Amino acid sequence: ASELQIDALEPIGFEFQDSYAYANISQRGNSSVRRSVPQILLATWDAFRLVILADAFDNIHLTITDVKISEVPGASQWRLSTWELPEDDKEGTPYIRDEAYVQGFLVPGQLQVFNAFGQTGRENAAILGRESDLFFDMTSSAAIPAGSDLLVRAGGAGP
């Protein structure tokens, strides 16, 4: 068994409290995969620590679900650390065996729509089959540079 801790370093605002994980594990040189549900030891706003039953040199594909992504835009940065118990005292305090700092994915920020309405001529509604104007009042937690594409999809109420 191995303990793994994942710390969200940047940007602030990730939340792991309601998260859970599962792993697909395969042995090196073997194509068969077994599924494992790790035991969660810690799930806080910026850290997730779990125990995975795996052997040395196993390939582990870990999925963590229901993570609240930060509303702060920017490149994510992570610290991954493995932990183990002292050889001479299995009841002792775990210590960090190895750690790595990893650049992750780009957090796009959050778009909030406060109001949306349509107008067709003098009618304060979008009318199917007619040309209408749609209005959206929104803010973004990330800067949207000039020349950027902002794609908005509005679903109709029709069949």
Residue numbers of the chain with a pLDDT score lower than 50: none
At 32 the pLDDT is 87
At 155 the pLDDT is 67
At 80 the pLDDT is 95
**What is the C-alpha to C-alpha distance for residues 69 and 49, in angstroms, rounded to an integer?**
17
